[in-house]
Chains A and B, each alone.
Chain A
Amino acid sequence: MTTEHEPLVLGIETSCDETGVGIVRGQTLLADTVASSVDEHARFGGVVPEVASRAHLEAMVPTIERACAQAGVRLQEVDAVAVTAGPGLAGALLVGVAAAKALAVGLGRPIYGVNHLAAHVAVDVVEHGPLPEPTMGLLVSGGHSNLLLVPDVTCDIRSLGATIDDAAGEAFDKVARLLGLPFPGGPHIDRAAREGNQVAIDFPRGLTSGRDMDRHRFDYSFSGLKTAVARWVKAREDSGEPVPVADVAASFQEAVVDVLTRKAVLACREHGVDDLLIGGGVAANSRLRAMAQERCDAAGVRLRVPRPGLCTDNGAMVAALGAEMVQKGREASRLDLPADSSQPVWQVSA
């Protein structure tokens, strides 16, 4: 249902190692192109900021061109430009923000500097239609684990909780390394876990005890879990026994997914929210999807999970949020808007 007078918005995302350019008309996704430097980082076991920034610069114009070709639009038709202003890697964000400003100047169009986390929530409008207000957002990835109450994704996002140490995806990466699985760890743990027994080892569930539930009701912690896995694996190795990789992967994954979904559904119940949206790279995890579906069904909560390609960092999510802002008449950003590597989640636009 694309109509000509819905705003055509191009979004740019460079907060980490993917150069994403997406194009959305209204709530219709027209293009989602991503150039990733992940292969260049793999040998370091993590993202090297300077390598990511260099790759963003090289990929920017070709990725914009590919997005326009995929959408079948000319760049000059774009009504507004949106860009991730933060949070993320400072040098990487800066390349995207500068590129978006150059587009805004070159095309004579407004620019919307938006929050990366808000964009992870907003992207689902192109997959499952308008967001219920409020929606509960659970964002899980290599960089963050957040529980967000979202009355209006264009201007009102409240943080209910976040990880107090490692992000969920970070724990996946570290445990994968312990088990000799490649980076990034998420998909490899997921695959290994399918052959394993998820109740084989009783790994700890962080911040779920009575006292923690008072003080950190909707916060997460995965550092203790990671340490517990490391200790368990070492004890096995020290005793000369083989490490049952599949069982460790499955039991670890179960512990992460249990806490993530338990607290998310509890937050829905306590805040009277009927819709839970899961985003971020870890949303691609099959066990997370399955358990979230089970628990949402039991609690009478509707679950929304965008397809995996829209859960990882991409330009479409930025374009989607930009288009929502245009359609709701939100004010555009100024041309001197800064990239803010630690932009707080309640600051939806810059």
Chain B
Amino acid sequence: MLLAIDTSTTAIGAAVHDGSEVLAVVVHEDARRHGELLAPAVAAVLGQAGVAREDLDEIVCGVGPGPFTGLRVGVVTALVLAHSLGLPAPAGICSLDALAHEVAHDPSHQRPERLLVATDARRKEVYWAVYELGPAGAHRVDGPAVARAADLPPDVRSLPVVGRGSELYPDALTNPIPGGPRDVDPGMLARLAVDLRAGGHPDFGTALLDPEPLYLRRPDAVAAPGTAMATTRPAAAP
């Protein structure tokens, strides 16, 4: 019994997978309230799946890349939850892989050969990766990385694209897949984890990561000039 958690995009949520199918998914769309919404979502998804917390065998979490503050909520939740249940440390999965996996396995999409996944990285940039799609799944061939959408090479920018990047930068990312996924579906993350465990997936052996955020940016570069550091300890915390 597997619990999957992702907070790397605007969708904050969790899913339960019993090894053969997804039993329940709970997702809230709110880019600012990860800390408030995730724990209730985890409690709710267990309830909806009819699974006691002691029945969980494994936890996986999306490790981004994604906006840091929200991303950390998901990763620390997975880490501490696993520890409190006496489970092994959770496996991390690049969250962009879940979006590619969704395209690779959605029968309603015409499956492109190559796919760009681009999500909101804030600061006028996108998190992106390129995949080759085949019957066995999505194989990551470039990324994850962070860049301005307009600075991506032309042959990357013109690829069929999913994720919110193309909504934010329609002039640079011109080939969105109609109806394609915008945010990470934790149910799809769970399916990907199960597929990766089973073997046969093209990224079997490389896609399961340590449960650490894929930051891709150094902390020094995060805050705006002048606010990069408090000159002393911050005003609010004694």
The interface of chain A, by Cβ under 8 A from chain B, is: 15-17, 41, 44-51, 53-54, 56-58, 60-61, 64-65, 75-76, 86-91, 94-95, 97-99, 101-108, 116-117, 120, 139-146, 167, 169-170, 173-174, 184, 280-281, 313, 335-339, 341-342
Residues of B within 8 A of A44 (CB): 229
B35 and A338 contact, CB distance less than 8 A = yes
* A44 to B230 Cα, complex, angstroms: 9
Q: How far is the CB of B43 from chain A (nearest CB, A)?
A: 6
Partner of A98, one of B39, B53, B68, B86: B39
Which of B17-25, B72-80, B104-112, B143-151 lies at the interface?
A: B72-80
Q: Are A101 and B77 in contact (CB under 8 A)?
A: yes
* Complex CA distance for A58 and B42, rounded to whole angstroms: 22
Q: Once bound together, how far apart are the Cα atoms of A54 and B236, in whole Å?
A: 19
In the complex, which of the residues B39, B79, B232 contacts A173, with contact meaning CB atoms closer than 8 Å? B232
Cβ A101 vs Cβ B53 within 8 A: no
Provided the pairs A50-B219, A60-B80 are in contact, do residues A104 and B39 lie with their beta carbons within 8 angstroms?
yes
Judge if B141 is at the interface, Cβ distance under 8 Å. Answer: no
> Which of B37, B84, B228, B237 is in CB contact (< 8 Å) with A102?
B84
The interface residues of chain B, by DSSP majority, are classed as helix
Counting from the closest, the 5 A-B pairs by CB-CB distance are A106-B84, A142-B233, A144-B238, A101-B39, A102-B80
- Measured between beta carbons, the chain A residues less than 8 angstroms from B81 are 102, 105-106
Q: Does B197 contact A (CB under 8 A)?
A: no
Cα A289 to Cα B78 in complex, Å, equals: 44
CA distance A102 to B56 in the complex (A): 14
B38: interface (CB < 8 Å) = yes
* Contact partners of B216 in chain A: CB under 8 A: none
Known: A75-B84, A94-B72. A46 touches B236 (CB 8 A): no
Please tell me if the beta carbons of B231 and A45 are within 8 angstroms of each other in the complex: yes
Contact check, B39 vs A89: say whether CB atoms are below 8 A apart: no
Please name the residue on chain A nearest to B75 by beta carbon: A57
Q: Write 5 A-B pairs (CB below 8 A) sorted by A numbering.
A: A54-B219, A57-B72, A57-B79, A76-B84, A335-B43
Distance of A120 Cα from B237 Cα, bound (Å) = 11
In the bound complex, residues from chain B placing their C-beta under 8 Å from that of A16 are 233-234, 237
State in angstroms the CA–CA spacing of A103 and B39 once bound together: 10
Q: Mark B71-99, 1 if CB is under 8 A from A, else 0.
A: 01101111111011110010000000000
* Complex: A204 Cα to B212 Cα, angstroms: 50
Q: A54-B219, A91-B68, A105-B43 are in contact. Are A99 and B235 (CB under 8 A)?
A: no
Known: A75-B83, A105-B42, A337-B36. A98 touches B76 (CB 8 A): yes
* Interface membership of B223, Cβ < 8 A: yes
Other A-B pairs, 16, CB within 8 Å; known A48-B228, A336-B40: A46-B233, A53-B72, A88-B236, A91-B69, A95-B72, A95-B73, A99-B79, A103-B84, A105-B42, A143-B238, A174-B231, A335-B40, A337-B36, A338-B33, A339-B35, A342-B236
Q: Say whether B76 contacts A57, CB under 8 Å.
A: yes
Q: Which residues of B come within 8 Å of A, CB atoms?
A: 33-40, 42-43, 53, 68-69, 72-73, 75-81, 83-86, 89, 212-213, 215, 219-220, 222-223, 228-238
Q: Are A88 and B232 in contact (CB under 8 A)?
A: no
Known contacts A116-B238, A336-B36; decide if A50 and B80 are in contact (CB<8 Å).
Answer: no
Task: With A50-B219, A57-B213, A337-B36 as known contacts, state yes or no: A143 contacts B234, CB within 8 Å.
Answer: yes
Cβ of A94 and Cβ of B236 under 8 Å apart?
A: no
Do B83 and A64 have beta carbons less than 8 Å apart? yes
Q: Is B76 a contact of A102 with CB atoms below 8 Å?
A: yes
Known contacts A89-B237, A98-B77: A53-B84 contact under CB 8 Å: no
Nearest Cβ on chain A to B87's Cβ, whole angstroms: 9
Tell me the minimal C-beta distance from A137 to chain B in angstroms: 11
Residues of A within 8 A of B38 (CB): 98, 101
Measured between alpha carbons, how far is A50 from B72 in the docked complex, in Å? 11
Distance between Cα atoms of A170 and B215 in the complex (Å)? 31
- In the complex, are the beta carbons of B219 and A48 less than 8 A apart? yes
Inter-chain CA distance A54–B216, complex, in Å, is 13
Q: Is the CB of B39 within 8 A of A167?
A: no
Minimum CB–CB distance for A6 against chain B, Å: 22
Bound CA span A222–B55, Å: 56
Contact A143 B83 (CB under 8 A): no
In the complex, what residues of B have CB within 8 A of residue A173's CB?
232-233
State whether A170 touches B232 (Cβ < 8 A): yes
- Inter-chain contact A108/B234, CB cutoff 8 Å: no
With a cutoff of 8 Å between Cβ atoms, the chain B residues found around residue A60 in the complex are 76, 79-80
Q: What's the nearest-Cβ distance from chain A to residue B76, in Å? A: 5
| Among candidates B79, B222, B237, residue contacting A61 with C-beta atoms closer than 8 Å | B79
Contact of B232 among A64, A120, A169, A337 (CB under 8 A): A169
Q: A120-B238, A336-B36 given as contacts; is B233 within 8 A of A47 (CB)? A: yes
The answer to whether A143 touches B233, judged by C-beta atoms less than 8 angstroms apart, is yes
Q: Are A108 and B233 in contact (CB under 8 A)?
A: no
Q: Which of B230, B232, B234, B238 contacts A174 (CB 8 A)?
A: B232
Distance in angstroms between the alpha carbons of A338 and B84 in the assembled complex: 22
B232 cross-chain contacts in A, Cβ below 8 A:
45-47, 142, 167, 169-170, 173-174
- Whole-angstrom distance between the alpha carbons of A341 and B234 in the complex? 11
